Structures are given as C-alpha cells and as structure tokens.
Structure 1
C-alpha cells in the first residue's frame, strides 16, 4: 500500500500536535510502521486517509506523554517593559516550538486555494496557541476545526464518544480564544516587506527598520523568556542587537506559511526569523536563535531565487 501521497499532510498534522518538524517527521515514520504492521486488519471500514490520521494522532498523543509543552515567550508571561534590561534566560527544561519550511507541508498541487489552506494550517500563531492546550484538547481542535473531520469520526479515532468530543472542543476553544483578524498583504507585498526588513538589518539602518514595523509590533527572541510589544519598545531593543553594517546576513525563505529569513551573524549560522505581516507593516518578528535551523532553510530559499 502506498502511503506517500499523505506524507505532507500527515507531517503538517504531527507538526501541529508536537510543535517541531524533527519530532513530527519521527512520528510520521512511526505512523507508517504501525500502518504497515496493522494493514492486514484494516478492513476498509474507514477511508485510508482517516485511518492514517487515527494512527498518527494516537502516536502523537503517546509522544506527548513524555514531552513538555512548547510555548513561545508570549505564552509564558507578560511582555518586558524595559528593552535595556538583559533578557530573561530560558530555564532548565524549557522546550520551544520550531518553524517548519513551507516546502515540507505545502501540497505539490498548483491550486492556489490548496496552497493557501495548507499555509493557514501551520501559521505560527496557531502552532503557538495549540502548544498551550492539553494534548487531547489539541488533537480534537485540530481534527475538527483545522482538518474538518466529523465529530463521529474524531470520536472513533480517539476511542471516545461524540459527546466527549464536543465537550472537549468547547473547552479547547475557550482556552485557546480567537486571534484577531488582520488583513494580510498580497504575496508580492509580503516579499517586499521581507526585503526591506532584511536590507535594514544587514545595513544596520534602524530608521528603515522602524518604518516597516506596525505600531503594535511584537518581537519574540527564542530561546529566552523575554518579549516586547509596541514599536517604540521593539526599536529600542533592536538598537542593542543590530550591530555594524555587514555583520548580519539574511537569505529569504518561507516558514509556517509566512515570509522568513535564514540568518547568519559574522558568517556563522544564527537562526531563522519568521515575520507575521499585516496591513500597515510587520506585526510580529519571531526569532528562533537555533543555529541548526539555518541549513534547513537556506537550500530551500536558494532554490527559489
């Protein structure tokens, strides 16, 4: 049986559940192994797709029994009011979500609607919010609201009742809340904002960087527990990290359905910056300061140039 046509969507599903691409890829492989071992008992009472989602979801729930939740800094406390203070370091045991390249989860289809749906399903705000939910609430919310499986099918996948699924979904919605709707610029406008952001940083042009930020901009530098909100505070923080012209080098990329940049500092890998853009400029900059991410994003970015 060929499971490969489902790989991208299963990877996206496991990523939503677990918050990191590496762990998601491991669980997809585990899903395939479990499916192969159990295939002789698969009697076609459900579609192959929903059967694979059942296996993947339960594999994720098992994995989450041994893992800490992975919030962003904004999920851990209030923003810092002092951009001049040293960042609050991560605590032992802190775990963080990581971005995923669009190329891993975007369907190969040229259908713009399919691509848009795939990107919406891995937006960083959604991934960060999901990590705040208990695992079963997370699973129900994803299966019902992101993937639109019927409640009866979700109950079958999770070995529970339809009433329990509906109750769990209500609690998940209440806990997660709803993100404010913001108008998103067109893709060329997003790329233009990304270009201006990268140029300002690489040229150490703080005034140019300030021009592309919205008044309500947010910066989250991971891994630390400190984050900032408001253009004035964000700019004051960036003044400390911008450095001299040429110290920062950036390569355009796409992560979580959003414009991003693979970042090097003085030639060495630094991490990946993911931009949330809205009408009026950049609304959020999430900087994942993990050097190993650079190799994952640079080849994909270079292939599109």
Structure 2
C-alpha cells in the first residue's frame, strides 16, 4: 500500500510514530539528495533530513491530502534547508570556490528510485545535477533562487506549487528562475557536454587508470599530459582554486608532491563521476592510511577538473581504513 493510500484511509493524524516514521523513511535517500543539492554538504543534508522528519511528525495534523505525502515532505525539507542557510550562510559562495562542499558516494545514489528508462533526458538531468560542477555553480546562488531552480528544473514542480511553498507569486517565482538560470550560466561552461562528465566509457576508464598510475608514481609530466589547458583544481575546505594546467602543476610542485613516495590507490565513484582514493604508507603503523580522495571531471578525453577531499570522507564511501604492506584492502 502506498503512503498516500494509507494516509487517505486513516489520516496522517491517526498514524502512530513508528508507522509515520516508516512511511517517511521510504523517502529518506531522495530527500537527502534534495537537501544535498540545496546545501552542498553531505553532513548538513543529513542533519536537515532529520529535522524534516521531526517537523513532519510535529505537524502531521497539517497534512490534508491536497498534495502527495512525498511532495509534503519535500516542502518541509526545502524550508528546513532555507532556515539552515539563513542561519549559517547568509551569503552565497563566490569566486568559484565552495569550501563546505562534500562528495556524495555513488553507492548511496544507487539507492534512489530507478528513473524511467523511456525518458533519457530525465535521467540525464538527474545525473548532471548531482555532479560537482553543478553543485559548485548552484551554491553561488542566493538561497531562494537556488530553491526555485532546484524545484523547477530538477524536480519539475509547476511554478504555482513553488510559489505556494515559498509564499510568493508565480511571477516572482518565474523571475527568480530566470535570475538563477543566468547565474548558473556564469559558473558553468556554455556547452553542457563541457561541464558534465557524461556516461563512463572505455576511454574514460583508461584515462582514470593512467591518472591513477601516474599519481602513485608522482609522475608530474605524465599527469600534465592528461590535463586540459583550463583544468581547475581545488581542495575544500582548504581555500585555494587553481585554474589552468601551469597553475595546477605549479601548486603540486610547490607542495612537494613530485618527491612523494609510498602511495597506493583504490578506485571509487562520487557524484556520478570517477574518483580515486589515495593511501600513504606510514611506517609506524605498518600500513597505508587514508590520504585524499580525488573526484575527476573528464571532458573531451582530458581531465577538466580535480576536486580533492580529505581522508575524513573515506568512511562514507565504504573505503578500507587501511591497506596492509602488500597493498590489498583490509
């Protein structure tokens, strides 16, 4: 029985807490992804989903069945995100950097309900709007236009429903959507294929393999040959955005990467993009310990962006806590 049928028969006010929680939990992953798009932070999204469920339980009497239970939860989640943004980040991101950005493991994205195979454009939008390039761009929008963009362009809500959610007029929502789309164009390449990694193919897998081997060997010339001229490299939450092959290679050289030894790598996947988890040998531990997670964007057969995350992300990806001396996972 669907949540809406069950609620229609009994009324949400008649649900006990375990029953209500069970109905809400069916939507946890998609609500988490929605909050992640709004906030750019995996952990903030987790907190906001918990807040959403708490608010929904407290306000269960207000669900009157005029919308689906799922849409009602989305309304609450969106408002919870806007409340958090008002408290924590009154200003949007600037300068192409998002210091609070965190990656989203593909293994958790796989928990989302399957899309309609007959609607390839819908599947493409769902993929592209979870990639880091999109997340970075959307974080540069002010909170309300950001909500409008996601509700209208990602979720496909009618302008009237978005206006009702935000307590605004349809004209205001349409105006906000135009501003948001213009803002996105400022932070994304003009052609969509230039910012989305697209479906993984044999060429992409081979490039990731070569990148992994060259990184473990700290072979700077080999790595340089794989980068686009306009490659971007960042490492949130550490400030600093390098743009261009020379700037990226110069930064790696200044950081002493060229002389680094004792690296191992494990393949991963984040935000529907290829990723590589690097481990560094620690003599005292007698093992390779987590170092960094590189998430790659590949365009036109070359690496166009590398976003590097700290080792505290490894557990979310189900990556091993250490690799033994023989390099196998443990």
Which range, TM-score by smaller chain?
0.7 to 0.9
1-structure distance, mates of 2:104, 2:93? 16
Question: Rg larger in 1 or in 2?
Answer: 2
1-structure distance, mates of 2:92, 2:278? 22
2-structure distance, mates of 1:244, 1:40? 63
Q: What residue in structure 2 maps to residue 74 of structure 1?
A: 96
Which of 208, 223, 229 is 1:215 aligned to?
229
**1:111 Cα offset (Å):** 6.3
Which of 163, 187, 195 is 2:200 aligned to?
187
SS across alignment from 2:88: coil
Q: How many residues align?
A: 284
* Paired residues of 1:102 and 1:257 also in contact (CA < 8 A): yes
**RMSD (Å) for aligned C-alpha atoms:** 2.7
Q: What residue in structure 2 maps to residue 159 of structure 1?
A: 167
2-structure distance, mates of 1:4, 1:59? 17
Q: What residue in structure 2 maps to residue 205 of structure 1?
A: 219
1-structure distance, mates of 2:60, 2:249? 56
Q: What residue in structure 1 maps to residue 149 of structure 2?
A: 141
Higher relative contact order (CA 8 A, sep 6+): 1
SS across alignment from 1:274: strand
Q: What residue in structure 1 maps to residue 114 of structure 2?
A: 109
* Paired residues of 1:133 and 1:172 also in contact (CA < 8 A): yes
Which of 251, 258, 263 is 2:266 aligned to?
251
Are 2:313 and 1:299 equivalent residues in the alignment? Answer: no
Q: TM-score, normalised by structure 2?
A: 0.77
**1:146 Cα offset (Å):** 1.4
In structure 2, relative to structure 1, the CA distance for the partners of 1:169 and 1:116 (3 Å cut) is closer
SS across alignment from 1:98: coil
* Paired residues of 1:263 and 1:294 also in contact (CA < 8 A): no
Deviations 1:110-144 (A, max 9, x none): 86657644332211111111211111111111111
In structure 2, relative to structure 1, the CA distance for the partners of 1:154 and 1:111 (3 Å cut) is closer
SS across alignment from 1:23: helix
2-structure distance, mates of 1:185, 1:45? 38
Structure 1 window deviating more from structure 2 (52-61 vs 67-76): it is 67-76
Are 2:61 and 1:40 equivalent residues in the alignment? Answer: yes
* Paired residues of 1:70 and 1:96 also in contact (CA < 8 A): no
Deviations 1:20-50 (A, max 9, x none): 1111011112112222222233111012221
